[in-house]
Amino acid sequence: MDFRIANRLTTVLEGDKMFDPQRICQILEKELLPVIENFLALDNGIRVRYKKENFKNIFFIEFSAERIKPIGYIPY
C-alpha cells in the first residue's frame, strides 16, 4: 500500500508552524481527486472544506457523481 499521501499530510501538519487550513484543503483536493475518479464518474471536481470544532479538526469532502464505476466487472 502506498502511504505517500499520509506521509505528505503528516509533514505538512507537523512542519507547517503557520498552519494554513486552506493549504491543507488544496493538498487534499489534489491528492484525493485521482483516487475518487477511479471509482466515480464525477460531475465536477471535488471540494474540501475545513472546520475547527472544540479541539477537533473536521474536514468535509464534497463531490457529485453521475455514476459509480463498476468494480471487478470485465465485459465480454
Do the domain assignments include residue 13? Answer: yes
Do the domain assignments include residue 73? Answer: no
Do the domain assignments include residue 74? Answer: no
**Rounded average pLDDT over 15-43:** 87
- Whole domain around residue 12: which residue ranges? 4-68
Number of domains in the chain: 1
**Rounded average pLDDT over 60-69:** 94
Do the domain assignments include residue 75? Answer: no
- Give the predicted TM-score (pTM) of the model: 0.66
Instruction: Provide the pLDDT for residue 16.
Output: 64
Do the domain assignments include residue 51? Answer: yes
End-to-end CA distance of the chain: 30
pLDDT exceeds cutoff 80 at 67:
yes
pLDDT exceeds cutoff 60 at 52:
yes
The one-letter code for the residue type at 26 is Q
Closest CA to 51 of 65, 61, 36: 61
pLDDT exceeds cutoff 50 at 28:
yes
- Given a contact cutoff of 8 angstroms between Cβ atoms, the answer to whether 28 and 61 are in contact is yes
**Rounded average pLDDT over 19-40:** 90
